Amino acid sequence: NAGVTQTPKFQVLKTGQSMTLQCAQDMNHEYMSWYRQDPGMGLRLIHYSVGAGITDQGEVPNGYNVSRSTTEDFPLRLLSAAPSQTSVYFCASSSYGYKDMSLAKNIQYFGAGTRLSVL
Amino acid sequence: QQQVKQSPQSLIVQKGGIPIINCAYENTAFDYFPWYQQFPGKGPALLIAIRPDVSEKKEGRFTISFNKSAKQFSLHIMDSQPGDSATYFCAASKEQGGKLIFGQGTELSVKP
């Protein structure tokens, strides 16, 4: 039961470098999303996907790209890293689109996070 | 704009005390209100959730109180323990399993 797996756990980049944060889930969830967590600001949604081939922007999408070629994977790309992107990044997944009103359904599960520093 | 406002930012209580964390929302289309608990170095994990058709939901020592007319909801932790020390986030969504809008977070410390 791996759940949501994020790699790497830590990363240091120089301004202008690019990198991809990996996220994989093994629960066959349709919905996947990326958040960033900054002190005093909670978690803010970057991008999300409701299924393979479908992505959309969240609250703070600038500077980030995503794609969803499979149900399992949802990588987040930083094309040209900036110091303002120093943050902790979390990936989450859930089942989606069910009409079951039970609160036990469609829970969002989070990965352990990637701590990114951009110098 | 901040659609979900959470307070206080930090909270210190003695063991056995009842910390209360408050959240207010603006969008009346929100239909699902979860609370997440996060320990240092870990991802958030769902603690308890409520829909707006009930005014209270209790699970063990954790209770959500919900006031639909005031657009406010709160988390109460009964008989708090040092192991409850964590950061707590409220959130809101228009649909379960969909986009979550989080509050700013409350760092709770329970002293022995």
Dump pLDDT digits (tens) for B78-88.
999 999 999 99
Residue A14 has pLDDT above 60, yes or no: yes
User: How crowded is residue A65: how many other Cβ atoms within 10 Å of its Cβ?
Assistant: 14
Residues of B in contact with A59 (CB under 8 A): 101
User: How crowded is residue B93: how many other Cβ atoms within 10 Å of its Cβ?
Assistant: 22
Two tokens, residue A66: 């995503």
Q: Do B43 and A110 touch (CB under 8 A)?
A: yes
Contact pairs from chain A to chain B, CB under 8 Å: 69
Two tokens, residue B78: 């009964």
- The residue of chain A nearest to residue B89, with distances taken between CA atoms, is A42
Smallest CA–CA distance, residue A17 to chain B, in Å, is 25
Q: Where are the beta strands (DSSP E) in B1-112?
A: 4-7, 10-14, 20-25, 33-38, 45-50, 56-59, 62-67, 72-77, 86-92, 101-102, 106-111
Q: Do A42 and B46 touch (CB under 8 A)?
A: no
| A27 at B interface, C-beta within 8 A | no
pLDDT score of A1: 62
Question: How far is residue B51's CA from residue B57's CA, in Å, rounded to a whole number?
Answer: 9
Smallest CA–CA distance, residue A71 to chain B, in Å, is 15
Q: Which is more confidently placed, A99 or B108?
A: B108
Q: Return the residue in B100, B101, B107 with the most chain A beta carbons within 10 A, the one to mutate for interface testing.
A: B100
Mean pLDDT of the residues in chain B = 93
Where do the H-state alpha helices sit in chain B? Answer: none
Residue B31 has pLDDT above 90, yes or no: no
Residue B77 has pLDDT above 80, yes or no: yes
Give me the percent of chain B exceeding a pLDDT of 90. Answer: 79
Report residue A40's pLDDT band, with 50, 70 and 90 as the boundaries.
confident
Pair A8, A111: CB distance under 8 Å = no
Selection from B34-38, B48-52, B92-96 with the highest mean pLDDT: B34-38
